[in-house]
Amino acid sequence: MPAMSASITVTERAARKIGEILRREPAGTMLRVSVEGGGCSGFQYKFDTERAKADDDTVIEKSGATVLIDPVSVNYMAGAEIDFVDDLIGSAFKVNNPQATASCGCGTSFAL
């Protein structure tokens, strides 16, 4: 595991929601979080369920939830916190990324 990857955290709220989602999937399913080019600010977060883990994935386990992050995405997410927000306008995973210099109104894309 790369040294900086340890600084990516998952809140208890997010871990509970990830656990809820994964319980509806086949045994051994994990959540993959990645960063891709695109979105209105240049980069966007992608959330997928997956059953295969790559040898170089960073694995974050919390409260029964398993999150996978590939090495390239780890570089963009160092120091980030993955949270789950549930408010009047909706509910969604939110990445609080200290490296982001700008983000869009919907919170799913960011710039470095």
Going residue by residue through the chain (112 aa), what tens digit of pLDDT does each one get? 344 444 899 999 999 999 999 999 999 999 999 998 876 667 889 999 999 999 999 999 999 899 999 999 999 999 999 999 988 778 889 899 888 876 655 555 555 5
**Residue 71, by phi and psi: left (phi above 0), alpha (psi -120 to 50) or beta?**
alpha
Query: For residue 31, which of 2, 69, 79 has the smallest C-alpha distance?
Result: 69
- What are the structural domain ranges in the chain? 3-101
User: SS3 helix, strand, coil % of the chain, rounded to 5?
Assistant: 20, 40, 35
User: What pTM does this model have?
Assistant: 0.82
| Homologous superfamily of 3-101 | HesB-like domain (2.60.300.12)
